Structure 1
């Protein structure tokens, strides 16, 4: 495929044109008084947003050189979002200002590398000053949390109050998950411990027939990354839990075949109080969630890269909840 090549002033001007077009679209959303942008997704209804990085990600220009300028600033905005979680619009505006003024200095004969070092020194000075001006927010300072949350929510005081309520309930080490609801009102639901959307693998594990739920207190929890299909793998652990007289919950990628049949038979005969569920999530997220469950329950997550066989798992490796 043939390549278009551009040099010197022509290339710089094309890049600047792309950067300027992106910045003009994004900076209109800046700050609490920023305006909304309407994006045509090509399917369904248009999307209305005030999020700078969302606007930036939706922009692609027809001119290849101008589009390269767009991609450069997109990268800056995206990294800012990854590191800080916000500030993408500000990053876009600053990137355009630095690039525009930088071109002016380069055109007047300034050494680009010296200019880059100067910009970095200015960045370091500004960051140091911002750290001096910053006011730490304590976990128990409801008013400060509400103010910060309101600003992050486009100066919506109702959003600020809801987030402050949630933070006060879960504390600084708690986790807040925001989900799209089906109602007009916004609700805060406090969940003690941890929950994930997975059910028992067999109805025979049910302990409350009327409500069709399986409930255990102070049960041991096996956290296993891989699929369990052989009963032979499970027998040593089942014997240990039976002798100890404890209930067992198995969380694994899947439990099938004779392994699942063995668990069901032992449960129906009253030999074991047991239940099995599939592990939550997929890929790397599943591994992270299993680690969270292990930390929460005080157990060990048995991952395949650890080289630990299921037959060698001890009761001390299991979590408790």
Structure 2
């Protein structure tokens, strides 16, 4: 009778899970690149490329996007961070840490003999329940509470007081209705420039200059025209121009275009912004009349100008309209001027929707780049807080949710409960990493907070990273937007399930053009 060699079952088990182990190792490596940045005591990361260019940052999504990655599972995790950034604008490091922790805990259950499918079911149930419980603890904002918004900006802005003040002021200038709009992103209102003085004002900054130095640098009470097209006469192809009829039509187009420009001036236009180029004729006619022209403005900026000034974009064919009809397409701004030192155009006091611009300055390119990222994170978090309320920061809400999931685990039958257990353990990871980055023993401190939360019936207790004491995050004004937490956990759960479902990794062949 043959005998099974000792250890063969173990090796067979390892071979069946080789894809899972490989993917888990790759994800863990990615998480380790950003875990040291989380929390008030988190440190920076230096990114260096082959040319010696350097980026020093604390921003998780920047680190993940710029690091060299080849493993497909690692790329999946980076895509999670990108989705978090795109949807919320902050919380990428939290999403990455949670995903790595969920996967690690899930693999741990598989190694105990729990079937992968059961672990996946448990992870899905546990994440869903945790999301419900965290959402139930959201504190809605009472209007645009300046102090709360400032504290949210301070946490997301890594305690840069000047940036927190700018973002808070910008939120108030923008208004509650605009901040709650799904189409508006306060982070898009943040700009940065070397040598600029940090400020916030109600208006826009367009990274362009006037078309000609002979045009006015400043126009006031300015009627604004937006041409979502090129500002020149209709063109004929060379073949048509070669005929007498074609040449006459060409002259007719030119004369009509000049008449359109004269009509435009009679409507009181003082500033023109175009999507494409401007012909010499238009430059001459409008420039001599004192009109400020800015050409080749991006579509995104044209939309902002239209929204802020109340202008309605028009095609060049629309310039044939009468002066009275054209008037309906014009916007209005209190002042439009070129900042020669910063080489940009400012539009202030538009009659349309209020819009604020946050300008962040610094002394060097490296520093201004990081301050821009910090300000965008702060702006995103403030807007998220307005939309979805806040929860305690410092990992407090995740630790509280961990216990809630543990209670729910007791109601789950069969091996699915082990997947739920993995979620409960993973939810302790954010506080564990924050405490570790602060220089304290995470095993000791997290358990101390856990006991304190149970005794006081609180979801807001966490560790003071300065002295290691257990404190109330809400009383210390350390908040996180609810949506940042919810989206991070949901994204982490989805990528964990996706990776755990992978049974085999196969290299694809290159397809020929006929096969593609």
The verdict on a shared fold, with TM-score over 0.5 as the criterion, is: yes
Q: Which residue number corresponds to residue 39 of structure 1?
A: 47
Structure 2 counterpart of 1:276, from 285, 288, 293: 293
2:301 counterpart of 1:289: yes
| 1:179-206 superposed Cα distances (whole Å, 9 cap, x missing partner) | 14337xxx44243433324333344443
Which one of 249, 262, 282 corresponds to residue 259 of structure 1? 282
Does structure 1 residue 249 correspond to structure 2 residue 271? yes
User: Is 1:147 aligned to 2:151, yes or no?
Assistant: yes
Aligned to 2:38: 30
Determine the C-alpha separation between the residues in 1 that align with 2:40 and 2:315: 46
**Match of 2:190?**
177
Which structure's relative contact order is higher, taking Cα pairs within 8 Å and 6+ residues apart? 2
Contact 1:80–1:88 (8 Å) recurs in 2: yes
2:105 aligned with 1:101, yes or no? yes
Instruction: Judge conservation of contact 2:166–2:200 (CA < 8 Å) in 1.
Output: no
User: Who is 1:283 aligned against?
Assistant: none
Q: How far 1:224 moved relative to its partner?
A: 1.0
Do 1:150 and 1:160's aligned partners in 2 also have CA atoms closer than 8 Å?
Answer: yes
String of CA shifts for 1:121-177, please: whole Å, max 9, x gaps.
322222222222222334542211121111112234454344334444554448542
Query: 1:133 aligns to what?
Result: 137
**Residues in 1 aligned to 2:57 and 2:79: alpha-carbon distance in whole angstroms:** 20
In structure 2, the residue matched to 1:9 is 17
Structure in which a larger fraction of residues adopt strand: 2
Residue ranges of structure 2 left out of the alignment (5+ in a row): 1-14, 180-185, 234-253, 334-516
2:92 to 79, 82, 88: 88
Unaligned runs of 5+ in 1: 1-6, 207-212, 281-285
**Are positions 1:318 and 2:327 aligned together?**
no
Please tell me the root mean square deviation across aligned C-alpha atoms, in Å. 3.2
Alignment correspondent of 2:313 = 301
Task: Tell me what 1:72 maps to.
Answer: 76
Output one character per residue of 1:30-82: Cα deviation in whole Å (capped at 9) or x when no partner.
22222322333333464332222223234335xx6xx2232121111221122
Instruction: Please list, as runs of the form range in 1=range in 2, the aligned pairs for 1:113-262 lying within 5 A after superposition.
Output: 113-138=117-142, 140-169=144-173, 171-172=175-176, 173=178, 176-182=189-195, 187-206=197-216, 213-219=217-223, 221-230=224-233, 231-232=254-255, 234-241=257-264, 244=267, 246-252=268-274, 253-262=276-285
Secondary structure, counterpart of 1:85 in structure 2: coil
Give the TM-score taking structure 1 as reference length. 0.75
Q: TM-score, normalised by structure 2?
A: 0.49
Kindly indicate whether the alpha-carbon contact (under 8 Å) linking 2:36 and 2:42 is maintained by their aligned counterparts in 1. Answer: yes
**Superposed displacement of residue 227, structure 1:** 1.7
User: Is the 2:222–2:271 Cα contact (8 Å) retained in structure 1?
Assistant: no
